Amino acid sequence: CKMWLFIATLFLTQAAANSEDVIEHTKGANPETFMNISQMICYRGYPSEEYEVLTRDGYYVRLNRIPHGREKPGNGGPKLVVFLQHGLLGEGSNWVENLSNNSLGFILADSGYDVWLGNSRGTRWSQRHQHLSTDQVEFWDFSFHEMAMYDLPAMINFVLRKTGQKQIYYVGYSQGATIAFIAFSSMPELAQKVKMFFALAPAVIIKHAKSPVMKMSFLLDRQFKIFQLWRFLPDLCRHPVLHKPCATLLFLLGGYNEKNLNTVSPLPSSHGMSPSKTTSSLTSSLSQVLQGWVSLWGFSDVSASLQETPPSYQLEKMPVPTALWSGGEDWAVDWRDVQLLLPRIAHVVSYVHIADWNHWDFIWGLDAPGRLYSHILALMERPR
């Protein structure tokens, strides 16, 4: 892990020496902008492992693991496993982008859990196939149904084999909850491997969504010319002049709550990790979030995610104990839609509504540790 910190420092130093343009571009830049997920984890001082898993339909999906916290654990036997699955516009890095005391992935690792981060097909780190390339339309011929029926079983079964455990805790955010509802209600044998399911802003029923972007169906047509523009947005949003419009787009998608987003980026110092205000974590996160749009527009059945009634999955058959959260200012997953979902879940152990939260607060909110993550930990540690 120390090697990645050295490489990041070397990269920025060399880039600054190359030209005045690059100096301006990298001045005050967050080194994590150029890192993969393993490097980001190591950069915070945590152990990191990375694996690639083959699904039954030929896709390779990436898994990242934080086996323990910063302190090496004692011989307390096998640790309980937590699997974190990102939302529609995200990737596994979303769980480790804030400071270590504000990121669920690190909080769980420091609490003694074996933490795994999933990356769905089509995201930046899961763009390999046995026979197809990302330049082929056929590669993108999938929807959240395939993520549920192929990606999740492949990842969860791999994690259980690797750890020797029989069950996991599953935390799904937005689409990460969507695919879990599909998978756990459709595959009883997979559901038995989940000790508890934590659904954060679950995108299952999209009837009252307020986001204007989600109502612009032409943006979701992969044949539309604007698709080519969105391919470049992650890089474009790194430029300081575009920080503001990119942030505006983020809020148009999920709702406004700028005061609750981290604007302090953790940068290295001679004494280890220390906060520095040289850059905004919001922009770094948005750059990575926008990468997910590419896979979104590749979906052959994306309209299913925008229909007013849920797909014909028998959610009532899902046997997994489930805790749910909704946000009152969430423009993507309206709390009224979560209320419609609740009666269809057979084993609700908890439901919490956070009135002032938008869609992004579940993963990036400054107050998330106290208002959400502590509750998740309490439910995990509750005797059952």
Q: How far apart are CA 126 and CA 141, in angstroms?
A: 14
| Structural tokens at position 102 | 């504000």
d(CA 140, CA 297): 8
Q: Looking at the chain, which runs of residues are DSSP E strands?
A: 49-54, 59-66, 81-85, 114-118, 128-129, 168-173, 194-200, 265-269, 272-276, 322-327, 348-354
Find the farthest-apart pair of alpha carbons in the chain and give their distance in angstroms, rounded.
61
**Is there a catalytic annotation at residue 274?**
no
CA distance 323 to 349: 5
Q: At what angle do helices 243-254 and 281-298 cross, to 10 degrees?
A: 60
Q: Which two tokens stand for residue 301?
A: 């059945």
308: Cα separation from own chain's centroid: 24
Active-site residue 243, yes or no? Answer: no
Q: 48, 120, 174, 285: which one is catalytic? A: 174
Residue bearing tokens 């309206």: 334
DSSP strand pairing (59-66 vs 49-54): antiparallel
Q: Can you tell me the distance from the alpha carbon of 223 to that of 221, in angstroms, rounded to the nearest whole number?
A: 5
Residue 208: strand, helix, or coil: coil
| Contacts of 47-53 spanning 24+ positions with Cβ under 8 A | 47/1, 48/1, 51/158, 51/162, 52/128, 53/154, 53/155, 53/158
In the annotation, is 174 catalytic? yes
Residue 326 CA to residue 358 CA, distance in Å, equals 9
Q: Which of 48, 151, 295, 330 is catalytic?
A: 330
Nearest C-alpha neighbor of 253 from the set 308, 206, 307, 298: 206
Catalytic-role residue among 151, 326, 359, 361: 359
Cα–Cα distances (Å) from 232 to 28, 119, 137, 290, 344, in that order, read 22, 21, 19, 9, 40
For 40, residues 6+ apart whose C-beta sits below 8 A from its C-beta are 32, 93, 96, 97
How far, in Å, CA of 360 to CA of 257, rounded? 9
Please identify every residue annotated as catalytic: 174, 330, 359
